[in-house]
Amino acid sequence: MTPKRGDRAAPPTLPGEYAIRFAANDAAKGWEDLCRQAAGHTRAAYEALRDNPCPRPETDRQHRLKYDLAWANHDGVRLEQWQYEVTAGGRIWYVVDHEARVCWIKHAGTGHPKATDR
């Protein structure tokens, strides 16, 4: 998604950090919704994804998805899929390309993702 006039400016990636990019337009829209609803928590999520997108051990807010959601394809590559719990319902789902040091946001939203409802 190319930034345009009026868009927020993203900080540059520093050495050792992961770049954070949107894998879909819906993810970018959901990110903006999260920023409006919970700016501080979304900022904390941004910093966690930038610094350590796959923490070991996992944290209460940041953990790998399970079962058929544990993996997702991005540009033809199968990558681990993780979740960051921004708020009680707000979630960010992302995959991490460690080789390119890019964290791809596949989903962001203020409500709990329907894909986990069973």
Spell out the CATH class of 19-116: alpha beta
Phi-psi region of 6 (alpha: psi -120 to 50; beta: other; left: phi over 0): left
Q: Which two structure tokens, joined as six digits, stand for 74?
A: 């991005």
Cβ partners under 8 Å of residue 18, min gap 6: 49, 50, 51, 53, 96, 101, 102, 103
At residue 27, φ and ψ (nearest 5 deg) are -65, -40
pTM listed for this prediction: 0.92
Round to whole Å and give the CA distance between 89 and 16.
30
pLDDT at 118 over 70: no
Domain limits, the chain: 19-116
> What is the tens place of the pLDDT at every residue in 47-95?
999 999 999 999 999 999 999 999 999 999 999 999 999 999 999 999 9
Segment holding 106, helix H or strand E: strand 102-109
